[in-house]
Structure 1
Amino acid sequence: MRKVLYNQFGDESVLEIAEQAVPGIEKDQLLIRVKAVSINPLDWKVYGGEMKLMSGSKFPKSVGIDFSGIVDQTGSAVTRFKAGDAVIGLLDVFKGGALADYVVVKANDIAPKPANIPFEHAAALPVTGLSALQISDELAAVGPNQNVLINGATGGIGLFAVQIAKKRGARVTAVVSTNGVAAAKKWGADTVVDYTKQPISQLNQRFDAVIDLSTKLSFKDAKSLMNRKAVFVSTLPSPLTLIYSFLNNLFSGQKYKVLILKPTVERFMTLTNLAEGDLQIVLDKTYSLTNVKEAYGESRRDKRIGKSVILLD
């Protein structure tokens, strides 16, 4: 089978397609034939060496976190799925490995693919959709009539964060580039701010939750946008931010939360139910596996609306 590997940190030029044997499974595992894999910014942060403390420095390493595919084999102890089932899933966010013809997972790593969407759209759901759910329902605890600011609202997580916050009854202000204004309005944002024309530091409104998906808004700068007991959510975990947020939350009414994705079966089912309803999934571009370097290079450099996906068929 084909699998994308790299033997040193660097840009997308370090990525290689290698031939490997199809892995075997244990009794509590499943073998999935991969159909599509989503591209996430965390991918290039890991293979670029920015996350060494989490990913380690032992090579070779693999790429790709979330995927869609078909169950090929099940271990004797697996009861929730059977061969032929269409599924979505994700692997360890710092180890990857989804960019391969086959992956080995446990039952809690996957969920049934929403029947009404194709495999390429389904692959775009797990990481960003589960992240948006965890941010909205746990970290920011978004609820009715709350004022929520989402900075970087047209990226992968933003695509779902805007829609889910609206479903929770919040009033959403989306901060985007000029190219993202129409999309943010389509997804339901009540107010859309084009940061190229109006810096968010000039906003007069104060928010109950400030969600930074751009990784460019610091907690220090966000404080002026927050109510006295508001929450700031960052999607950029590091040892320093985790320590700082812990200490801040001991003494300040303005809380600092950091997203560390923790998938659960319940959250997976909530996401698939949303996808079977009216949740919009936007793909910017699809690529073949042979164009993996181009796929990551363009995704890393370009500001995109929604998600990009690599197809393995």
Structure 2
Amino acid sequence: MKKVQYNQFGDESVLDVVEQAVPAIKNDQLLIRVKAVSINPLDWKVYGGEMTLMSGSKFPKSLGIDFSGIVEQTGSAVTRFKAGDAVMGLLDVFKGGALAEYIAVSQTDIAPKPTNLSFEQAAALPLTGLSALQIIDQMASVGPNQDVLINGATGGVGVFAVQLAKKRGARVTAVVGTKGVAQAANGGADTVIDYTRQSVNHMHQLFDVVIDLSTKLSFTEAKSLMKPKAVFVSTLPSPVALVSSFVNNIFSGKKRKILIVKPTAEGLATLSKLAEADLQIVLNKTYPLSNVREAYREARRGNIVGKSVIVLD
């Protein structure tokens, strides 16, 4: 089978498509024939060597976090799925491995693919959808009549964060590039700011929640946008940031929180139900596996609305 691996940290040139044996499964695992895998910013932070504390430095390393596919085989202890089931799921966010024609997973790593979604759409949902759920419902506890600022509101997480914040009754201000203005409005944002025309730092409004998904708005800058008891959430974990947020939250009413995604089967099931209802899933572009370097190179340049996906068929 074909699989994406790399043997050193670097840019997209280190990514190779190699031939490997189809993995054998244990009694509590399933063999998935992968149909699609989504691209996430965390991917290039890992293969670029920025996350070695979490990912480790042992090679070769694999790539790809969230995926969709079809159950090919089940272990004797698997009870929730059978061969032929269409599923979606995600692997360890710092180790990856989904970019392969076949993968071995636990049944807690997957959920049924929503019947109304294509495999490409389903692959774009798990990691960014779970991230948005965790931010909106757990980290920020967004509720009715709160003012929420989402910086980077039409990226992978942002598309879902806007919709979920609106479902919780918040007033949402979305900060996007020019390409994302229409999508932010379609997603339900009450106010849309094109950052190429107006700086977020010059806004004359205070917010209960500030969510930075672009990694370009620092907590120091965000403080001037926050109400006295507001919460700031960012998505770029690092040892320095984690320690800094811990110290800040002891002494300051303005809280700083950093997302470290905690995948759960319950979260995947919740996403599946939301997608079967009315959750919008926005695809930017799809690529064949043979174009993996180009796919990641284009995604890393940014200014993308929604998610890019690699198709393995």
- Name the TM-score class by shorter chain: over 0.9
Could you tell me which runs of 5 or more consecutive residues in structure 2 were left unpaired when the two chains were aligned: none
1:10: which partner in 2?
Answer: 10
1:46: which partner in 2?
Answer: 46
Counterpart code for 1:216? K
Helix, strand or coil at the partner of 1:33: strand
Partner deviation per Cα, 1:206-259 (whole Å, 9 max, x = no partner):
000000000011111101100111100010000111111111111211111110
Superposed, which structure 2 residues align to 1:130-209 within 5 Å?
A: 130-209=130-209
Helix, strand or coil at the partner of 1:165: helix
Judging changes above 3 Å, is the alpha-carbon distance between structure 1 residues 302 and 218 closer, same or farther for their aligned structure 2 residues?
closer
Counterpart code for 1:249? N
Helix, strand or coil at the partner of 1:89: strand
1:24: which partner in 2?
Answer: 24
1:223: which partner in 2?
Answer: 223
Deviation at 1:85, TM superposition (A): 0.7
1:84: which partner in 2?
Answer: 84
**Structure 1 CA distance, aligned partners of 2:23 and 2:89?**
17
1:67: which partner in 2?
Answer: 67
Helix, strand or coil at the partner of 2:120: helix
4+ long deviations beyond 2 Å: none
Deviation at 1:190, TM superposition (A): 0.1
- How many equivalent pairs are there? 313
Deviation at 1:201, TM superposition (A): 1.1
**Structure 1 CA distance, aligned partners of 2:224 and 2:103?**
46
2:312: which partner in 1?
Answer: 312
2:239: which partner in 1?
Answer: 239
Superposed, which structure 2 residues align to 1:219-298 within 5 Å?
A: 219-298=219-298
Partner deviation per Cα, 1:83-131 (whole Å, 9 max, x = no partner):
1111000001111100000111111111110001110010000010110
Q: Conserved in 1, the CA contact under 8 Å of 2:179 and 2:303?
A: no
Helix, strand or coil at the partner of 1:261: coil
Deviation at 1:302, TM superposition (A): 3.5
**Structure 2 CA distance, aligned partners of 1:144 and 1:85?**
38
**Structure 2 CA distance, aligned partners of 1:124 and 1:30?**
21
**Structure 1 CA distance, aligned partners of 2:39 and 2:87?**
18
**Structure 1 CA distance, aligned partners of 2:181 and 2:204?**
20
Counterpart code for 2:112? P
Judging changes above 3 Å, is the alpha-carbon distance between structure 1 residues 302 and 258 closer, same or farther for their aligned structure 2 residues?
closer
User: If the length of structure 2 is used for normalisation, what is the TM-score?
Assistant: 0.99
Helix, strand or coil at the partner of 1:18: strand
**Structure 1 CA distance, aligned partners of 2:110 and 2:212?**
27
